[in-house]
Amino acid sequence: MTNEEYIKFFKENKSSNNKFHVRTYGCQMNEHDSEQVEFIMSTLGMKKTDDYTDADYIIINTCAVRATAENKVNGFLGILKHEKERNKDFKIVVSGCLPNAEKDLDEFLRLNNHIDILMGTANYNKLPELLYNSLYDKKTIVDISDQYDVESMDLNYNRMYNHKAFVNIMYGCNNFCTYCIVPYTRGREVSRKLDDVVDEITKLSANGVKEVTLLGQNVNSYGKTLDGNVDFSMLLKEINKIDGIKRIRFMTSHPRDISDEVINSYKTLGNLSKHLHLPVQSGSNKVLKEMNRHYTREDYLSKINKIKEISSDIALTTDIIVGFPGETEEDFLDTLDLVNEVGFDSVFTFIFSQREGTKAAYREDQIPHDIKMERFNRLLDAVNKNALEKNLKYIGKSVLVLVDEISKTDENMLSGKTDTFKTVNFKGDKELIGDIVKVKITDANTFSLQGIIDE
Ligand code: SF4
């Protein structure tokens, strides 16, 4: 049967009475994958519910990168097991990184025999077929290939926002950083064709999208799997030409692969947002080598200095892991020193955790928890101090804010982002959501700016 026939089947079999619930753990890639899952389920005629106890289909989009996310997935699966034992007639689909990361899949399935479908990150377009098969097959259906077929992928999404969108430009990763499970869960790198990406963004723009975030594990190696001389800077140039797209963002970058052409794009492309997220992970050359990152702190700082030479207004953010195996006090001080030298606008800080299946997990020189925590707190102090200093500089300035939503903490306030990815809260009518509004900054703290509409 074709996908169209599966869709017809579900619609004709009153699936419009069925509800689905999607629960997402992990990164923006997963959030975006969930948008696609929601679209597929709606295409089958089903309705979304935020209440899992009311759902006929529960899709758990999992993360295996962080232990906390994996624990939450296992906790939720435990709750669902009890629900199913009480004879509740619903289907459970587990997708995302965890199925591909499971070392002992048989044991996982034995413990979780209430799962109906287990699917990997590359299989979302097969969801209608898998759901159909699960109606007749009482055993868990397993389909966890990590081979993306970007040519045949039917990329449609239920977008979370009307004014901004995530767009996948590539899948997978070839890097094998020694702490990371992603290459094992999302497979080898494959890029979408440039024309396909540009077409998708052109359509998004026609539907009112003003901001796109290009997604990939390592966007700077975009194009390596494509014929011809296509690279990431060329893709940025083409997207910059699309009418209506006011802001182009991208994540994540690998410091080794960000080219001078991409760095120069901050000078030449008017719609490229003034924000670069460049994960450094450590400031110690010894640790960077052991992480298999393929750059030194000097390489990293040289790229950062090139960016700063273009404009001191470009916001810089990064990721840092504290307590990598064998990290000495001296290594950690190198990281602190780099943080202060760059003066990041913000840093995603992580405490190293052992991910089964990665090289670093099996090292014997793991850092004791109390030392990791102590370093983590010192790092956080430095990071927060830099962030506050950066944010205070905005006071008195007028900035353009793309308004995202009503503030989560105060329903009279709106919340949006500057071009530099700063969160701004200000009083305004909800009709402004999706607009770009001029706001005068009146106050700032470590994590956000406050302001008033600048008439
Ligand atoms: S570049 Fe390294 S950290 Fe990033 S996804 Fe690939 S292996 Fe993981």
Domain residue spans in the chain?
Answer: 3-143, 164-390, 398-453
Mean pLDDT, residues 120-127: 78
Q: What angle do CA 411, 25, 223 make, to 5 degrees?
A: 105
> Best mutation site among 180, 222, 257 for ligand 1, i.e. most ligand atoms within 8 A of its Cβ?
180
Assess whether the C-beta atom of 173 lies below 6 angstroms from ligand 1.
yes
Q: Which residue has the higher pLDDT, 17 or 292?
A: 292
Residue 126 pLDDT > 80: yes
Q: Torsion angle of alpha carbons 352, 354, 357, 359, nearest 10°?
A: 60
Q: Which residue has the higher pLDDT, 141 or 261?
A: 261
344 CA distance to ligand 1 centroid (A)? 21
Atom index in ligand 1 nearest the CA of residue 281 equals 3
Check if the beta carbon of residue 266 is closer than 8 Å to that of residue 272. yes
Assess whether the C-beta atom of 168 lies below 6 angstroms from ligand 1.
no
% of the chain with per-residue pLDDT over 90 = 63
Task: List, in order, residues 6 or more apart from 305 with CB less than 8 Å away.
Answer: none
Mean pLDDT, residues 44-72: 86
Q: Which residue has the higher pLDDT, 260 or 172?
A: 260
Task: List, in order, residues 6 or more apart from 14 with CB less than 8 Å away.
Answer: none
Residue 60 pLDDT > 80: yes
Give the whole-angstrom CA distance, residue 330 versus residue 325. 14
Residue 306 pLDDT > 80: yes
Q: What is the CATH number of domain 398-453?
A: 2.40.50.140
Residue 341 pLDDT > 90: yes
Residues for the chain: how many in total? Answer: 455
pLDDT of residue 155: 59
Q: Which residue has the higher pLDDT, 245 or 185?
A: 245
Mean pLDDT, residues 324-351: 96
pLDDT of residue 185: 78
Q: Which residue has the higher pLDDT, 227 or 381?
A: 381
Confidence of residue 202 (pLDDT cuts 50, 70, 90): very high
Atom index in ligand 1 nearest the CA of residue 176 equals 7
Q: Which residue has the higher pLDDT, 163 or 101?
A: 163
Check if the beta carbon of residue 353 is closer than 8 Å to that of residue 67. yes
* SS3 assignment, position 404: strand
pLDDT of residue 345: 97
180 CA distance to ligand 1 centroid (A)? 6
pLDDT of residue 235: 97
Confidence of residue 378 (pLDDT cuts 50, 70, 90): very high
pLDDT of residue 67: 72
Burial class of residue 392, CB neighbours in 10 A (0-12, 13-18, 19+): middle
Assess whether the C-beta atom of 183 lies below 6 angstroms from ligand 1.
yes
217 CA distance to ligand 1 centroid (A)? 6
> What would the pLDDT profile of 409-439 be if each residue is shown by its tens digit?
888 899 999 999 999 999 999 999 999 999 9
Lowest mean pLDDT among 74-83, 331-340, 370-379: 74-83
Strands across the sheet containing 164-168: 164-168, 211-215, 247-251
pLDDT of residue 164: 93
% of the chain with per-residue pLDDT over 70 = 96
379 CA distance to ligand 1 centroid (A)? 22
Homologous superfamily assigned to 3-143: Methylthiotransferase, N-terminal domain (3.40.50.12160)
Looking at domain 164-390, which CATH architecture does it have?
Answer: Alpha-Beta Horseshoe (3.80)
222 CA distance to ligand 1 centroid (A)? 14
pTM flag (> 0.85): no
Atom index in ligand 1 nearest the CA of residue 254 equals 1
Q: E strands of 39-90, at which residues?
A: 47-48, 57-62
- Which residue owns the Cα nearest ligand 1 atom 2? 177
256 CA distance to ligand 1 centroid (A)? 12
> Best mutation site among 66, 170, 218, 324 for ligand 1, i.e. most ligand atoms within 8 A of its Cβ?
218
pLDDT of residue 154: 54
- Which residue owns the Cα nearest ligand 1 atom 4? 217
Mean pLDDT, residues 397-406: 96
> What would the pLDDT profile of 134-162 be if each residue is shown by its tens digit?
888 778 888 877 666 666 555 566 677 88
Cα 433 to chain center, whole Å? 23
316 CA distance to ligand 1 centroid (A)? 19
Mean pLDDT, residues 206-219: 94
The chain-wide mean pLDDT, for the chain, equals: 90
